[in-house]
């Protein structure tokens, strides 16, 4: 009996170790450094200027956007509140403005990025995993991956070889396209990603130079990266966009940092 218990304990330790390794493999440690954040005058929107040098400390970030399966598992365990797929509280931009939508089952593949989650829901998920949402500076530093290109793959315009085609009318499964130079997937396109920062169109002119945390208050939170129905200009790595933290949207997801 003692031998049997020992064998079971060893098996459990082995399973736990394997799970830890698998989890660790889904994250990438980004070594700290400096980079030029924002766009040079004439190369981007006004809120992307001035371009300024930022020092970022080492951090770890999810390799992929959080998937529907991951988020729904958190909700099932009651560590998170359910995503707004079915309750009419998720919105989508149309030529006539935002409208409330339901997410069809056909667009709810477990490996699609989690959508229809508000800022607080995304932050709650990250907290449940021992992390948090990335700052805007962390997000851009990781997305640029030591380069200065317009997009995660380079300067070529968005195309079906690089990111999801808007004509499919939904996001793609995570990891379907090549990662950036630091091994991160879908930093351009697929879904916008929540960051921890409040939005201020003039923040870059007053931003601290070391690990900026964003404005202390605001009405909106920054989203980055562009979504599945964004245009090329919105998908640039320096582009800044904002959204109400109280709402959820069909092209906004997230990843966490640790």
> Residue 12 falls within a domain, yes or no?
no
With respect to residue 1, please indicate whether it lies within any of the assigned structural domains.
no
Residue 185 in domain: yes
pLDDT at 128: 98
Task: Give me the pLDDT at residue 34, please.
Answer: 98
* pLDDT score for 23: 43
Low-confidence ranges of the chain (pLDDT < 70): 1-25
Does any domain span residue 129? Answer: yes
Structural domain range at position 171: 31-253
In a domain, 14, yes or no: no
Please report, for the domain that includes residue 169, its CATH number.
Answer: 3.90.1580.10
Report the alpha-carbon distance of residue 160 to residue 64 in Å, rounded.
19
Number of domains, the chain = 1
Considering the entire predicted model, what is its pTM? 0.89
Q: Is residue 200 part of a domain?
A: yes
**Domain for residue 7, yes or no?**
no
In this prediction, residue 167 carries a pLDDT of 84
């Amino acid at each position: 009996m003692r031998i049997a218990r020992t064998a079971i304990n060893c098996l459990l330790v082995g399973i736990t170790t394997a799970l830890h390794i698998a989890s660790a493999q889904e994250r990438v440690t980004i070594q700290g450094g400096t980079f030029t954040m924002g766009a040079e005058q004439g190369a981007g929107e006004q809120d992307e200027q001035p371009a300024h040098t930022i020092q970022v400390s080492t951090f770890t970030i999810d390799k992929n956007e959080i998937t529907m399966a991951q988020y729904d598992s958190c909700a099932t365990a009651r560590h998170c509140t359910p995503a707004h797929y079915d309750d009419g509280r998720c919105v989508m931009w149309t030529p006539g403005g935002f409208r409330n939508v339901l997410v069809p089952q056909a667009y709810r593949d477990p490996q699609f990025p989690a959508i229809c989650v508000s800022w607080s829901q995304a932050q709650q998920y990250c907290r449940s995993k021992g992390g948090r949402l990335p700052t805007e500076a962390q997000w851009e530093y990781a997305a640029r991956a030591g380069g200065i290109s317009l997009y995660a793959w380079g300067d070529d315009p968005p195309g079906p070889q690089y990111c999801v085609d808007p004509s499919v009318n939904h996001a793609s499964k995570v990891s379907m396209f090549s990662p950036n130079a630091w091994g991160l997937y879908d930093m351009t396109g697929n879904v916008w990603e929540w960051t921890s920062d409040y939005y201020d169109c003039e923040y870059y002119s007053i931003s601290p130079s070391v690990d900026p945390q964003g404005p202390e208050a605001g009405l909106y939170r920054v989203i980055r990266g562009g979504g599945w129905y964004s245009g090329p200009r919105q998908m640039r790595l320096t582009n800044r966009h904002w959204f109400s933290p109280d709402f959820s949207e069909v092209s906004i997801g997230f990843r966490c940092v640790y």
